């Protein structure tokens, strides 16, 4: 496919979105619109260096995103927005080196790779193939006029009453033979009310020169563009429903399909159960037999087999191995790993930590930058004091340790194998193996304090 390039049009202002965010960066589920378009193009085998994205209004933000996500894709600029014909001409120095070119709108996240493959085959048939769809409500779209050996487009404002009855409309995408486009692109004028250069005029110029033109009909649902927040919401709904239907067919049980959101990159196994109001985003993977409880949000989380997320857990960029139990109301983040049969309970936060096999952090605790061995029990209210104002410091807790409730570990510090801490301790030094660490002030009882305090209170009232 080195003779083929794809130009993605992403330079428009997206005025009707009424947002400072460039239109193609608005998210559909958890990825920007442009992300889906580029991934579909790459999925049919087109090399990324053969893909150009034309940016303009807000282009710096689009360019920044693309350089991080798709660094090999070519960034092209339309510094003035003077119409689609001007946009394509702005990229001429890049596309003139290819034999064929597909021009796609950058706001078509629902287009399928299978349809794109069919579109690519059109490059061998005509000098220009315009992409069309049969619109249920064609509105102000340009209508497609089919001749015996050619196709033309008539804009709605110029169409007769009978022509306005036509439901086949211009989708704004094209397949060109580059040589033919190169011949006419400089002849497009801005002799219209908007004083803009329109790419559909290239079709007219080709017909006048006896070049071959045709049309390729796409399914209407795949050509849904995004020009308003309402259209964005509708496209997101369609994609969400498609993803949910796919996982249901793969043996995933989704209790309430109307309240669950699953991102396009999520991977689920058969016999996973997803309860209501769950969100799964990013590169999340869930192993067979796992249950995701209501209200939970997972992003870039890896869950093994038979993991039980009870409810209302937030898990980000972390791994829960087989038979782990977590929740309710826990926050697990920043490369935390829970090994097999471990447990993170209610109102627990784990950050950049490793919880060993069979270890438990049952409730009301914070383990940050900590390593726990196997079969450790963390008492309620215990925390690692990992930040000293400048650096994040490590806490190491060995195997078979027992941590009394409300223990403060002032990192860096170590609790060796078999050691324990007394409840309410502040641990600032290493506790040796099988030892008890006690770090608290000795209790002092003041006799008759309540009687004297009660007397002083009543004296003050007189």
Q: Do the beta carbons of residue 343 and residue 324 sit within 8 Å? A: yes
DSSP strand pairing (337-338 vs 319-320): parallel
Cross-strand partners of 73 = none
Phi, psi of 84 (to 5 degrees): -70, -35
How far apart are the C-alpha atoms of 106 and 115, rounded to whole Å?
A: 16
In sequence order, what are the residues at sequence separation of 6 or more whose Cβ sits closer than 8 angstroms to the Cβ of residue 168? 132, 133, 134, 135, 143, 144, 146, 215, 217
Alpha-carbon distances of 461 from 110, 370, 453, 454, 455, rounded to whole Å:
75, 52, 13, 11, 10
363 noted as active-site residue: yes
- Asked whether the bond before 412 is cis by omega within 30 degrees of 0, the reply is yes
How far apart are the C-alpha atoms of 28 and 6, rounded to whole Å?
A: 22
Which of 164, 298, 232 minimizes the C-alpha distance to 23? 232
Q: Do the beta carbons of residue 348 and residue 368 sit within 8 Å? A: no
Cross-strand partners of 267 = 285
Q: Do the beta carbons of residue 125 and residue 198 sit within 8 Å? A: no
Which of 300, 317, 278 minimizes the C-alpha distance to 291? 278
Judged on CB neighbours under 10 Å (0-12, 13-18, 19+), 420 is buried
Query: How far does the chain reach from its first CA to its final CA, in angstroms?
Result: 96
Phi, psi of 349 (to 5 degrees): -120, 130
Provide the Cα torsion 406, 409, 415, 421; round to 10°.
-30
How far apart are the C-alpha atoms of 223 and 61, rounded to whole Å?
A: 25
How far apart are the C-alpha atoms of 34 and 25, rounded to whole Å?
A: 6
Phi, psi of 439 (to 5 degrees): -135, 70
Catalytic residue among 167, 363, 454, 455: 363
DSSP strand pairing (27-28 vs 31-32): antiparallel
How far apart are the C-alpha atoms of 119 and 101, rounded to whole Å?
A: 11
Residues with catalytic annotation?
363
């Amino acid at each position: 496919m080195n003779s083929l390039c794809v130009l993605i049009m992403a330079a428009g202002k997206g005025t009707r979105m009424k947002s400072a965010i460039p239109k193609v960066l608005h998210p559909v589920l958890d990825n920007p619109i442009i992300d889906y378009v580029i991934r579909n193009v790459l999925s049919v085998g087109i090399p990324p260096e053969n893909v150009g994205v034309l940016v303009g209004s807000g282009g710096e933000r689009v360019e920044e995103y693309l350089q991080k996500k798709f660094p090999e894709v070519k960034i092209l600029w339309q510094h003035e927005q003077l119409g689609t014909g001007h946009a394509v001409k702005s990229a001429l120095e890049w596309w003139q080196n290819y034999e064929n070119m597909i021009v796609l709108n950058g706001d078509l996240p629902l287009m399928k790779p299978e349809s794109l493959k069919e579109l690519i085959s059109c490059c061998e048939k005509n000098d220009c193939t315009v992409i069309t769809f049969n619109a249920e409500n064609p509105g102000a779209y340009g209508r497609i006029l089919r001749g015996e050996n050619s196709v033309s487009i008539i804009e709605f404002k110029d169409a007769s009453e009978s022509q306005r009855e036509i439901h086949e409309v211009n989708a704004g995408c094209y397949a060109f033979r580059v040589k033919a486009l190169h011949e006419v692109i400089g002849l497009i004028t801005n002799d219209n009310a908007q004083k803009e250069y329109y790419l559909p005029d290239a079709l007219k110029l080709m017909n006048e020169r006896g070049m071959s033109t045709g049309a390729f009909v796409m399914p209407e649902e795949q050509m849904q563009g995004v020009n308003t927040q309402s259209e964005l919401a509708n496209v997101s709904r369609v994609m969400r429903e498609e993803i949910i239907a796919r996982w249901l067919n793969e043996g995933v049980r989704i209790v309430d399909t109307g309240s669950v959101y699953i991102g396009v990159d999520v991977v689920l196994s058969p016999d996973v159960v997803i309860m209501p109001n769950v969100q799964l985003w990013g590169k999340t993977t869930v192993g067979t037999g796992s249950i995701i409880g209501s209200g939970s949000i997972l992003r870039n989380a890896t869950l093994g087999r038979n993991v039980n997320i009870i409810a209302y857990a937030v898990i980000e960029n972390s791994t829960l191995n087989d038979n782990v139990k977590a929740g309710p109301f826990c926050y697990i983040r920043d490369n935390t790993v829970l090994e097999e049969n471990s447990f993170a309970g209610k109102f627990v936060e784990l950050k950049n930590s490793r919880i060993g096999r069979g270890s438990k952090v049952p409730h009301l605790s914070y383990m940050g930058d900590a390593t726990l061995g196997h079969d450790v029990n963390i008492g309620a209210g215990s925390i690692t004091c990992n930040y000293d104002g400048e650096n994040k410091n490590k806490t190491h807790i060995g195997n078979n340790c027992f941590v009394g409730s409300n223990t403060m570990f002032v990192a860096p510090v170590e609790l060796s194998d078999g050691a324990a801490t007394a409840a309410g301790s502040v641990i600032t030094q290493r506790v040796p193996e099988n030892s008890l660490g006690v770090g608290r002030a000795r209790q002092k009882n003041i006799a008759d304090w309540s009687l004297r305090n009660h007397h002083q209170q009543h004296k003050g009232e007189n």
